[in-house]
Chain A
Amino acid sequence: MKSHIDKKTEQLLSAYIDNEATPEERRIVEEQIQHNPAWKRELLRMRRVQGIVAAKEPVGQSQYFWTKLSARIEDEQLHPKESFFPFQRKWLPVTLGAGIAALLIIIFTLVYQKESIVQYVDTQTSQIRDWYEQNMLSGKVSTLASMLSNDDVFNFAMTGSLPVDKANGKMLQFGDQPSHGHFVEAENATPQQAKMTTAALIKRLGLDRSQSIAIDSLLQTYRSRLENSMLVSQEADSQFMAINADVWAMNKVLMVDIAKTLSRPQRKNFAGMLVSANAPVKLNLEALDSPMTDTVIINFGKKGPSRQFVIITPDTLFVKNVTKQFSDSFAVRCEQVNNEVRRHYELLAKHSPERAADIIENLKRHQAFRDKVFNKRVDSSLRQYYADSRGLDGKMKKLDGEYQDFNAAVQQAERMLKSLPDSMTLRIEINRQLGVMPDRMTVVMNNIVMTQPLSAPHPSGNARMLKPHPVDSGMIWHIQMPDSIRMVMMPRQRGVVLAGDQSVQIGSFMKDGYRKAAEIKSIRSRQDLEKRLRQLEKELQEMRKQMEKLEEP
């Protein structure tokens, strides 16, 4: 018989008081507590602890919990948080582990699946494909961005190959075949595949400083675009890699874009470099100066990435238009602006050699700014606001002015409404000349014609009263009465004396009130605008703070 209470006993007793002990355990406990005082005491202590915790005082009731919650739900529905990525921000830190794991499976599939991708696709069932279509892009997606350097992009321009898992030497080779169209192959990087670097290009072609900067800027631009063109899933149950259809054209356009920054002799050398590097594409030197080439490059930069993605999964491969991401994103718009700015600088440098130094300086500043905004992985919404901030300032001022006007109008209208009577008593005086005293009176309220009985004659004998009526600011009163009858309208204590033939004035008085009330209503319905303004103010402040932090060295 145990008198000592050990951990096992405690666990047994704990389960016993919760009615979670097995029949055998119950039997043991019940036998022990009958004969062993230590067990009995321990059981009592546990029950006491149980009682104390169960009697824990609850938190005070919350008033308006549902009201506040429903407002938040409505707010979140009306203004869903915008995000650059089609997944929650908390996943933003690129968890490459999961991404790479998914990628390796895909690469494994591709490397060992030597048959043509087209045939491979044909062997898959549409069911699997549908499953992926429904489930992918709803999950967590990361880009391959952080793995690429400018040299990787340069190499991609020259050879069409892109490292996707540097640690394990995995590459993706993009290309075209007349028989099969576009293809992508996963392969192991071999030591023979010496990487082409921008340093080698600069050295071999003897590029000057401005040319080096221009090429760096180009690579940077295309790198950003590549970032958003290759996505991998982080979901364990929905592994895929999505490649933007542009990637197959991007290396060629980039190669031509680089060539355009070179002088004629340099271009020739560059073409030689491509041949010796076994580049899959040859450079057509004659076509380089054609306006058509310029158009292609500019259009490629301007149009933004395609919505078409090639989706590669361990089971299948298909093409899908992905509409919910990237194409409208700020990054893409920045890309376009960046391209245009760069071209603008290049054009200036070409036509104003004397200003070349300034232009290069500008270009550098532009690049520095861009690096600051893009490479520090600034929150995407911040980028958005930074870009909009110039416009936002103006917008804010305008909204502010509008808001002041509203405020003034609200105050004026509210003053006006306060001066309106709560109820109105009409006193009809006898027209002494005619000796007429009507006992009924027609009142038109909001186009509804009502015949109102007048009260008994006033003790003075010369007046009757129209019983008090609540005055709704939304009503228009129009009193119809013979011209000759004199009427006194007494809103609250304030009497407004009107002659019969001035009855229109009552209408217009009320009408004015009605107009003001309507104005107030419309202003109140524009509280959304005020809300938005406050939101903007808050966001702008937040954004400025963050930008200040960024600006710090």
Chain B
Amino acid sequence: MTESPGETRGTQAKAARGENDAKIDERLIRDFLDGKSDAFMHLVQRHQERVRNLIYSILGYTQIVDDLAQDVFIKVYQSLPNFRYQSSFATWLYRVTVNRCRDEIRRSKVRRMFRLESLQERDHPVESESTDRTERILVNEALNAALRQLSESHRTIVLLKEVEGLRYEEIAEVLQCGVGTVKSRLARARVRLKQLLQPYVEEEV
């Protein structure tokens, strides 16, 4: 099960794409700092879905996704003049997003209002869906339920890896911890997810 040439090419292509993305971000940041008013808009548009998805995945509910995403970009807007490129913009953005989510979770706990998306909030009733779609929704719901049962740190690490596709080193930078910690936490989180998603996992295996 070594990495196939196809996989290697895929990884290389991904790395090249990442490099290219970083360059575009860098150029937009420079433009923004030079006073070009639409540069920040482009920067937001490039990353807004990624930020919104991460927030949604970490929190597990949709109600305040946009508010938090706006907070994140306002923070970015205010802090960009001091951005020193010690990490890539995307990594920094993830860090700001994760921190904002953690902040929100802390506040929610304090307010005792911590609630997660309920089944009633589904946009489409299951009955009206095709079999494939129904299956997908069921798996997705099971996944959401399983993610909710993980601790915030395990949830975030899994999402950064599997959904956002970050490397261990990048995750360590976002979460400001060591690569070893990332490695062990991710393994633990996967084992826990495997237990929680057992029917869907065993089905295929």
A interface residues with partner B (beta carbon < 8 Å)? 7, 10-11, 13-15, 18-20, 26, 29-30, 33, 41, 43-46, 48-50, 52-62, 65-66, 68-70, 72-73, 76
Q: Are B41 and A70 in contact (CB under 8 A)?
A: yes
CB-based contact A73/B74 at 8 Å: yes
How many pairs of A and B residues are in contact by the CB < 8 Å rule?
117
**Could you say which residues of chain A place their CB within 8 Å of the CB of B132?**
none
For residue B149, which residues in chain A have a CB less than 8 angstroms away from its CB?
Answer: none
Please judge, given known A-B contacts A7-B187, A11-B184, A20-B183, whether A56 and B194 are in contact too, CB under 8 Å.
no
Q: Which residue in chain A gives the minimum CB-CB distance to B165?
A: A54
CA distance A69 to B200 in the complex (A): 40
- Contact status B48-A56, CB under 8 Å: no
A-B contact pairs, 28 of them (CB 8 A): A11-B187, A14-B186, A14-B187, A15-B183, A18-B161, A20-B183, A26-B2, A33-B1, A44-B204, A45-B201, A45-B202, A48-B201, A48-B204, A49-B190, A49-B194, A54-B162, A55-B140, A56-B57, A56-B140, A56-B143, A56-B159, A59-B53, A65-B66, A66-B41, A69-B44, A69-B74, A72-B70, A73-B74
Bound Cα distance from A70 to B44, whole angstroms: 10
Interchain CA distance A164-B107 in the complex, whole Å = 34
Contact B66 A62 (CB under 8 A): yes
| B197 on interface, CB distance cutoff 8 Å | yes
CB distance from A262 to the nearest CB of B (A): 51
Q: Which of A20, A49, A54 has the most CB of B within 10 A?
A: A49
- The complex places the Cα of A81 from the Cα of B168 at a distance, in Å, of 39
Do A60 and B62 touch across chains, with their CB atoms under 8 A apart?
A: yes
For A65, what are the chain B residues with a Cβ–Cβ distance below 8 Å?
A: 44, 48, 52, 66, 69-70
Q: Which residues of B contact A19 (CB under 8 A)?
A: 3, 7, 11
**CB < 8 Å neighbour of A56 from B3, B52, B163, B205:** B163
B191 an interface residue at 8 Å Cβ cutoff? yes
Answer yes or no: B114 CB below 8 A from chain A CBs: no
Q: Check: B174 CB closer than 8 A to any chain A CB.
A: no
Most A CB atoms within 10 A — which of B7, B55, B140? B140
Within 8 A of A (CB), among B134-177: 136-137, 139-140, 143-144, 158-159, 161-163, 167-168
B1, A43: Cβ atoms closer than 8 Å: yes
| CA of A62 to CA of B73, assembled, Å | 15
Contacts of B201 in A (CB 8 A): 45, 48-49, 52
Decide if B29 is an interface residue (CB 8 Å cutoff): no
Distance between A14 CB and nearest chain B CB, rounded to angstroms: 4
Chain A residue nearest to B200 (CB atoms) is A52
Q: Does B56 contact A (CB under 8 A)?
A: yes
Q: Which residue of A lies closest to B53 (CB)?
A: A58
B96: interface (CB < 8 Å): no
- The distance in angstroms between the C-alpha atoms of A20 and B66, with both chains bound, is 34
Query: From residue B13, how far is it (CB to closest CB) to chain A in Å?
Result: 14
Other than the known A11-B184, A44-B204, A59-B53, what 8 A-B pairs have Cβ atoms closer than 8 Å? A10-B190, A18-B186, A48-B205, A52-B201, A57-B136, A62-B52, A66-B41, A69-B74
Complex formed: what's the CA distance from A29 to B62 in Å?
40
Q: Is B93 on the interface with A (CB-CB < 8 A)?
A: no
In the complex the two chains form, is B163's CB within 8 Å of A53's CB? yes
Give the one of A29, A53, A58, A72 with max B CB within 10 A.
Answer: A53
The reply on B77 being an interface residue by CB < 8 A is: yes
**B: which residues have CB within 8 A of A?**
1-3, 7, 11, 41, 44-45, 48-49, 52-53, 55-57, 62, 65-66, 69-70, 73-74, 77, 123, 136-137, 139-140, 143-144, 158-159, 161-163, 167-168, 183-184, 186-188, 190-191, 193-194, 197, 200-202, 204-205
Q: Is B190 a contact partner of A59 (Cβ separation < 8 A)? A: no
- Whole-angstrom distance from the CB of A61 to the nearest CB of chain B? 7
**In whole angstroms, what is the CA distance A7 to B188 when docked?**
8
Contact indicator B57/A20 (Cβ below 8 Å): no
Q: Determine how close the nearest CB of chain A comes to the CB of B57; give it in whole angstroms.
A: 7
C-alpha spacing A69/B48, complex, angstroms: 11
Contacts of B159 in A (CB 8 A): 53, 56
Q: B168–A20 contact, CB under 8 A?
A: yes
In the complex, the chain B residue whose C-beta lies closest to that of A34 is B1
For the complex, give the distance between the alpha carbons of A151 and B139 in Å.
69
A58 vs B52: C-alpha distance when bound (angstroms)? 9
* Interfacial chain B residues near A29, Cβ < 8 Å: 1
Nearest Cβ on chain A to B14's Cβ, whole angstroms: 11
Whether A69 pairs with B73 at a CB distance below 8 angstroms is yes
What's the least CB distance linking B136 to chain A, in Å? Answer: 7
> Please, how many angstroms separate the alpha-carbon atoms of A72 and B202 in the complex?
48
Q: Are A53 and B1 in contact (CB under 8 A)?
A: no
Which residues does chain A contribute within 8 Å of B52, judged by CB atoms? 59, 62, 65
For residue B41, which residues in chain A have a CB less than 8 angstroms away from its CB?
66, 70
Could you say which residues of chain A place their CB within 8 Å of the CB of B3? 19
Contact of B123 among A20, A43, A60 (CB under 8 A): A60
Q: A11-B183, A57-B140, A66-B44 known; A49 and B62 CB under 8 Å? A: no
Q: How far is the CB of B8 from chain A (nearest CB, A)?
A: 9
A474 to chain B, nearest CB (A): 28
Say yes or no: B66 contacts A54, CB within 8 Å: no
Beyond A48-B204, A53-B158, A58-B53, whether A30 also contacts B1 by CB under 8 A is: yes
Shortest CB-to-CB span from A340 to chain B, Å, is 40
Residues of B within 8 A of A52 (CB): 139, 143, 197, 200-201
Q: Of the candidates A20, A30, A50, A72, which one forms a contact with B162 in the assembled complex, judged by CB atoms under 8 Å apart?
A: A50
B183 touches A45 (CB 8 A): no
- Cβ–Cβ contact A69 & B62, under 8 A: no
Q: Which residue of A lies closest to B186 (CB)?
A: A14
Minimum CB distance partner of A5 in chain B: B191
Give the CA-CA distance A353 to B55 in the complex, in Å: 69
Given contacts A10-B187, A58-B49, A66-B44, contact A53 B74 (CB under 8 A): no
Asked if A14 meets B190 with Cβ closer than 8 Å, knowing A33-B1, A56-B140, A59-B53, the reply is yes
Q: Is the CB of A68 within 8 A of B187?
A: no
Which residues of A have CB within 8 Å of B2? 26, 30
